[in-house]
Structure 1
Amino acid sequence: MINQTLRRSRSLLKKAYQQTLDTGERLLGLRDALTPPRSMIFVGAGDYKEVGEHFRTLFIELGGLKPTDQVLDIGCGIGRMAVPLVNYLAPTARYEGFDIVKSGIDWCQQHITPRYPNFRFQLADVYNSHYQPTGRYPATEYQFPFPDAQFDFIFLTSVFTHMPKPELENYIGQIGRVLKPGGRCLATFFLLDEESRRLMPSPRSRYNLQYELDGRYVADLSDPDICTGFDKQYVLDLLQQKGFNPAPAFYPGTWCGRLEGKSFQDILVFQKPA
């Protein structure tokens, strides 16, 4: 309870500061049309543009994203991954994004889609204890709003880091359903293995996922969905059970105190059989 109160207080102070900066940028004309106000951004730390461009590079280099791909962004937030793709994906390509936070979807629909009609966004009215406590549908039962075999490339950035185990299992199954044969998925995780467990208690680690809770590992029992990790071998086994090719590519992140990594979170790239 104390942790939640402190987080709320910090969040309010941060928002007030950001609103002041937003006002100055608006008056001086310093923000471009495809960058949301700071006070609206809810998708994590880091510079909005820099993080998006970083992941665009990873999508291309690690995930094999092509300009002509049909793309699904699960947990698209307020367009941080979509914006750097508008000048990479061809007009004949298709981008679909969905998220559980209405303000992010509204902003994307108002600012991105009118300029790039092949970029579409929709709200998923799904419950999450941290991000959408009034959501109507449980994520364990949510069916992605697309027919089978629609997408060449799917990505999730910091989605599985906020999910309980049954929700993860449903989403992995849904990813397999909507991917085309041979399609790829790039997803970020906090994955626990011998190395990350050894490093987590160290001062260099950003998170110590020390509490086991219903098959996942969390940093804060009072707000478990704020930061969730899974046993690495469990996730690898799950992917194989759901029909993906064995031995997905694994790129360890720096979150637990590693000195080097492709990104902050761990990355898995897995593929549906052709």
Structure 2
Amino acid sequence: MNAQVGNRINAYEALPALSEESRLSWLMEAIERNRFLPVPAPENVFVGDGNFKAIGAEFLGHFVRIGDLSPSDRVLDIGCGIGRMALPLTQYLDEATGCYEGVDPVGEGIAWCVKNITPAYPRFRFCQIDLAHELYNPGGSLVGHEVVLPFLDGSFDFIAMVSVATHLPLSEIAAYAREAMRLLAPGGRLFMTAFLVLEGDQERAGARPQFAPGAEAGTWYGDPSAPLAAIGFDKTVIKQAIRSAGLDIKRVDLGHWRGINSTHYQDIIVATKTGAA
């Protein structure tokens, strides 16, 4: 498997005549076609739906185009699940200078990644964090609003939180934002997806999910009987939580969950830690 995958990486790096966008598009298509990449059995994928490799390749594009990810970045994937984001990154991150750490509360997903990804890509490592979550890890021993991840200050250039803030209360999102501020090197980026509920979103035909006001001001529930299944926030509320952590919001891209044209479903927030890289 390593030889085949390695050849694909070398082919990507050997296309200097093409624009960066053309090279990225080529790589995204190659990832979808790559039959050597390990893919978990569908019954083991406990978050998300759709084509596993296609969605991963799509987010690689968002990481680069929207989040300014570069091959040399040190990446932390908070809520890495069963490797949906990790697999395409194995084909993009530089094998000498880039690296990846994935954390998640679900032990089964971490175990699959350790068994199927790390042996072929030793700079990709995975760790279970036993955080309590009523849907994904109800017996967890740690509380989310006190989260401290086991990494040194300034260890990362890029932190991804894909479909994480959509399942957390605001206090825990604020805690992760504080951790991102601690863990990012100057110039590093936090890439977070969320549901930002704006005025008029609920009246748009085709908006999915349809949100109802939540228990706290500025929060919205897709299903009031299971609030953390899909939770949204007023834009000002979640932006304030990120800014209070010390991060600067660089970009907000709205998603097509609200019934508008967009290249992505959830909304995307990119925040940076100021200072020279």
2:209 alignment partner in structure 1: 207
Instruction: Give me the whole-angstrom Cα distance separating, in 2, the residues matched to 1:99 and 1:83.
Output: 15
Q: Using a 3 Å threshold, how does the CA distance of structure 1 residues 168 and 261 change in structure 2: closer, same or farther?
A: same
How is 1:42-121 mapped onto 2 (pairs within 5 angstroms)?
42-92=46-96, 93-121=98-126
CA contact (8 A) 2:81 2:104 kept: yes
Instruction: Using the TM superposition, give the Cα deviation of residue 181 of structure 1 relative to its aligned residue in structure 2, in angstroms.
Output: 0.8
2:16 maps to which residue?
Answer: none
Match of 2:131 in 1: 126
Question: Does the aligned pair in 1 maintain the 2:214–2:224 contact within 8 Å?
Answer: no
Once residues 263 and 118 of structure 2 are traced to their aligned partners in structure 1, the CA distance between those partners, rounded to angstroms, is 30
Instruction: Tell me which residue corresponds to 1:185.
Output: 190
* Distance in 1 separating the partners of 2:129 and 2:76: 14
Match of 1:166 in 2: 171
The answer to whether residue 230 in structure 2 is matched with residue 227 in structure 1 is: yes
Paired residue secondary structure (1:58): helix
Deviates more, 1:209-218 or 1:180-189: 209-218
AA matched with 1:225:
L
8 Å Cα contact 2:160-2:192 kept in structure 1: yes
- Secondary structure in 1 aligned to 2:144? coil
Equivalent in 244, 247, 251 of residue 247 of structure 2: 244
- How far off its partner does 1:35 sit? 0.4
1:2-21 correspondence runs (5 A): none
Q: Which residue of 2 aligns with 1:157?
A: 162
Secondary structure of 1:153's aligned partner: strand
Give the drift of 1:32.
4.8
The match for 1:217 is 220
1:35-56 CA-partner distances (Å, limit 9, x unpaired): 0101101121211000000000
TM-score, normalised by the number of residues in structure 1 = 0.84
Counterparts of 1:236 and 1:158, CA distance in 2: 16
Q: Which residue of 1 aligns with 2:270?
A: 269
- Report the Cα distance in structure 2 between the residues aligned to 1:195 and 1:179, rounded to whole angstroms: 35
Alpha-carbon distance in structure 2 between the residues aligned to 1:67 and 1:270: 19
Displaced runs of 4+ in structure 1, greater than 3 A?
Answer: none
Q: Which ranges in structure 2 are unaligned for 5 or more consecutive residues?
A: 1-34
> Structure 1: which 5+ residue stretches go unaligned?
1-30
Distance across 2 between alignment mates of 1:34 and 1:85: 13
Report deviation, 1:33.
5.3
Amino acid corresponding to residue 57 of structure 1 in structure 2: G
Distance 1:58 1:33, change over 3 A: closer
C-alpha spacing 1:190/1:56, structure 2 compared with 1 (3 Å): same
Residues 63-105 of structure 1, C-alpha deviation per residue, up to 9 Å, x if partnerless? 1111111000000000000001111111121100000111100
Counterpart residue type for residue 47 of structure 2: V
Q: Spell out, residue by residue over 1:4-38, the C-alpha distance to the aligned partner (whole angstroms, 9 max, x if none).
A: xxxxxxxxxxxxxxxxxxxxxxxxxxx75510101
SS at structure 2 position matched to 1:71 = strand
Distance 1:87 1:33, change over 3 A: closer
Q: Secondary structure at the match of 1:52?
A: helix
Question: What TM-score does the superposition give when structure 2 sets the normalisation length?
Answer: 0.83
| 1:5 match | none
In the alignment, does 2:259 pair up with 1:254?
no
